[in-house]
Amino acid sequence: MKISSSLYFLYLKYDLNLMKLTILSQDNAVKERPFSRVAQIVTKLIFMGHDVKYVYGLNKFNFFHKLNEIKNDHILVSIGFKPGIFTSITKKILKNNIVIHDWIDLYAEIQTTKGLKERILFPFLQKIEEWIIKSSDYIITNSIYNRIKAEIMGKSPIYIPNGIDKKIFDLKKKNFIKKKYDKPIVLYIGGLAKFKNIEPLIRSVKNLDCYLMLVGNGEREKLKNIASKNIIFIGRVPRERVPYYIKIADICCSPVDWDANLKVYEYMYMGKAVLSIKGRPELLLKDGYNALIVDPTERGLSDGIRLLLENTDLKKRMEKNAKKFKVYDWNDVVKMYIKNLEKIYDESNIRIQ
């Protein structure tokens, strides 16, 4: 699995209310995943005038070489599981460092969907995850679920939700999608991976009078084997085209058991009826108000889609309430980051020479 986040060491220094940041990353998120939370935070910090030195390519072979570039009294921020391991180890080496971990996913749990070896390793990975949280001085997270878990571990986590790039959702250009569909469109946007609960979603529309449009990459060939004729595989599309697919959708789906799914924020911002599942999404969404929450099974998803297709009053009410859902622009998210980094800096009373 491609690592979904990067390791960042942030060196903070004030100069006319700006911060000087030295950022070390395991991969070049800015280039490879420009719309990820990681890349947005880095690029927006630079855009806002902060002095950012961005270094990537960190791995186990050059870790100590990169470590030599970091002096004591730095603030280290790791985003994601594997980066968290590095910052936790670094904390042991550089005793005076303040470590902040941005807990953005469920890495250990996701691994269990890959195979037997990963399932066997699950308890071990959970212990590492817990060690990262407990060894960090501060926890930031985009997930209410992770915030609760961190509190149980004795932390006082900072909740900073995901954002979206609102300017690409203004839809000022004419819709490039020319084809007219003769049935309602049920839309899913995201990776086509097992842990996203895609297979039950695909099977759920087999006997429904609608199209299920899947926008994203992943196990496409495997999924085609179980797909009925009303499944449309779009594949990966340029980011600026995503809003146009959301625009033509009648129902938008988020079948993954996760409360920080970026696509949900995008669906809500465009005022769409959202179908999600029982579990962690219930921490973010309100059943029957701004989303329809169903069992994460083929039957549950099928019944939910059918209900929204038939009950236009419920669908319209959810669309209206979806527009009331608070969605931040990435600029606002980065401002929250800066505000909390400044607070941590002051609380830590660090003096950088």
pTM of the full predicted structure? 0.88
Sole residue written with tokens 């895609």: 198
Distance CA 256, CA 188 (A): 11
Share of the chain above pLDDT 70, in %: 85
DSSP string computed for 155-212: --PEE---EE-GGGGS--SPP---PPPSS-EEEEES-B-GGGTHHHHHHHTTTSSSEE
- Tens of pLDDT along 274-299? 999 999 999 999 999 999 999 999 99
Among 188, 208, 209, 210, residue whose Cα is nearest residue 199: 188
- The full length of the chain comes to 353
Looking at residue 319, its pLDDT comes to: 97
Residue 143 in contact with residue 118, Cβ under 8 Å? no
Q: Buried (b) or exposed (e) across 8-25, using 16+ Cβ within 10 A?
A: bbbbbbeeeeebebbbbb
Triad 30, 16, 157: Cα angle to 5°: 55
Quick one: which H or E segment has residue 145? helix 144-152
pLDDT in tens, the chain (353 residues): 333 344 444 444 444 456 666 666 667 888 888 888 888 888 888 887 877 767 677 676 777 776 676 655 467 888 888 888 888 888 888 776 788 899 998 888 887 777 776 678 888 889 999 999 999 999 999 999 999 999 999 999 999 999 999 999 988 777 778 678 899 999 999 999 889 999 999 999 999 999 999 999 988 889 999 999 999 999 999 989 999 999 999 999 999 999 999 999 999 999 999 999 999 999 999 999 999 999 999 999 999 999 999 999 999 999 999 999 999 999 999 899 888 988 887 777 543 33
Distance CA 353, CA 347 (A): 18
Residue 194 in contact with residue 109, Cβ under 8 Å? no
Domains delineated in the chain = 7-160+330-348 (3.40.50.2000), 166-322 (3.40.50.2000)
* Strand 18-25, strand 51-56: pairing: parallel
Task: Count other Cβ atoms within 10 Å, centred on residue 58.
Answer: 22
